[in-house]
Amino acid sequence: MKVNTNSNTYIIIYSVVMVVIVAVLLSLASLGLKERQDANILNEKQTQIVKALGEDPATVAYGDVITKAALLDASGAVVSEDEKEVFAALNDLKASFEAGKYPIFVATSGVVAPLYGAGLWGPIWGYIALDTDMNTVKGIVLDHSGETPGLGAEITTAKHQAQYVGKSIFEGEELVGITLKKGGADKGSLHEVDAISGGTKTCDGVSAMIQSSLNYYKPYFDAARATTDTAAEVEAESNVVNE
């Protein structure tokens, strides 16, 4: 029997069958690979947290350095310490930030806070590790989804990220973050690093991301600074008196 491949009935049946087969195939592939992909994603997050602390993920495991993972609310109070919940919040950090849930990782020697912002082509994110004074940067990890390779994407290189170590995010009581400065950072500045030539838009995004993301954690940092650093406490009190 010769089938007329150009009849409407044939075309409609052909399309329906084709779409169903493709849909089944893709769903199976997605289901089958999901576990592996999720494991990769979780592993990558933990690796980045360890890296942000300046440790080598090849030798140091996540569990060795992180003592507690927690979710904070807008006032800096801990609302959950369930690790699963914290990592789930990391999966959609933008939504978590908007919902007032701020994941933080407490290490033996400081804290690690996640960052989320916009680059030139798409989202950028990362982790910043602060020393126990909640001010000095121990390290940073930056990542992106679609910045230009060789230009904006250079924010992921070790060379760029090494610049942040030792910088500080507070100027007195004000959270100033770290600025990526076009044309090179001022020598001796504690709040500036060199921007990447040709990647200015991405670098502006990183500066804005550090500032806005850390702002969410300011109440937590302030509380921690008040208890660990008496000098800061005295200064804060004298400011109140002056007013």
Partner 1 sequence: MASKSLKNLTAPLSGNNPVIVQILGICSSLAVTVQLKPAIVMGLSVMVVTAFSNLVMSLLRNGVPSRIRIIVQLVVIAALVILVDQVLKAYVYDVSKQLSVYVGLIITNCIVMGRVEAFALQNKPWDSFLDGIGNGLGYAAILVIIALVRELLGSGSLMGFRIIPESMYIAEGGFYSNCGIMLFPPMALIIVGCIIWAHRSFNKDLQEK
Three-class secondary structure of residue 136 per DSSP: strand
Q: Which two tokens stand for residue 154?
A: 């250079």
Window 91 to 110, contacts with partner 1 (CB under 8 A): none
User: Least separation, in Å, of the C-beta of 10 and partner 1?
Assistant: 6
Task: Select from 42, 79, 88, 151 the one that contacts partner 1 (CB under 8 A).
Answer: 151
Task: Select from 148, 168, 200, 211 the one that contacts partner 1 (CB under 8 A).
Answer: 148
User: How many other C-beta atoms can be found within 10 angstroms of the C-beta atom of residue 238?
Assistant: 10
Report the alpha-carbon angle 135-52-62, nearest 5. Answer: 120
Task: Select from 16, 20, 91, 146 the one that contacts partner 1 (CB under 8 A).
Answer: 146
42 lies in the site for partner 1, by CB under 8 A:
no
Q: Are 178 and 205 in contact (CB under 8 A)?
A: no
Q: Which two tokens stand for residue 126?
A: 């990362």
Q: Which two tokens stand for residue 9?
A: 């009935």
β strands within the chain, DSSP E: 66-72, 78-80, 102-107, 110-118, 123-130, 137-144, 170-171, 174-175, 179-181, 192-194
The DSSP secondary-structure symbol of 6 reads T
184 lies in the site for partner 1, by CB under 8 A:
no
37 lies in the site for partner 1, by CB under 8 A:
yes
Picking from 146, 137, 72, 82, the residue whose alpha carbon sits closest to that of residue 104 is 72
Task: Select from 100, 150, 166, 172 the one that contacts partner 1 (CB under 8 A).
Answer: 150
Judged by beta carbon, residue 166 or residue 184, the one nearer partner 1 is: 184
Upper half-sphere CA count for residue 70 (Cβ side, 13 Å): 14
User: Least separation, in Å, of the C-beta of 35 and partner 1?
Assistant: 9
Three-class secondary structure of residue 192 per DSSP: strand
Judged by beta carbon, residue 11 or residue 99, the one nearer partner 1 is: 11
27 lies in the site for partner 1, by CB under 8 A:
no
Applying CB under 8 A, the site for partner 1 has a residue count of: 29
Window 7 to 26, contacts with partner 1 (CB under 8 A): 10-11, 14-15, 18-19, 22, 25-26
User: Least separation, in Å, of the C-beta of 4 and partner 1?
Assistant: 9
Amino acid 104 reads I
User: Least separation, in Å, of the C-beta of 60 and partner 1?
Assistant: 19
Residue 201 parent element (H or E): helix 200-216
User: Least separation, in Å, of the C-beta of 20 and partner 1?
Assistant: 11
Q: Which residues here bind partner 1, judged by CB under 8 A?
A: 5-6, 10-11, 14-15, 18-19, 22, 25-26, 29-30, 33, 36-37, 40-41, 44, 122, 143, 145-146, 148-151, 197-198
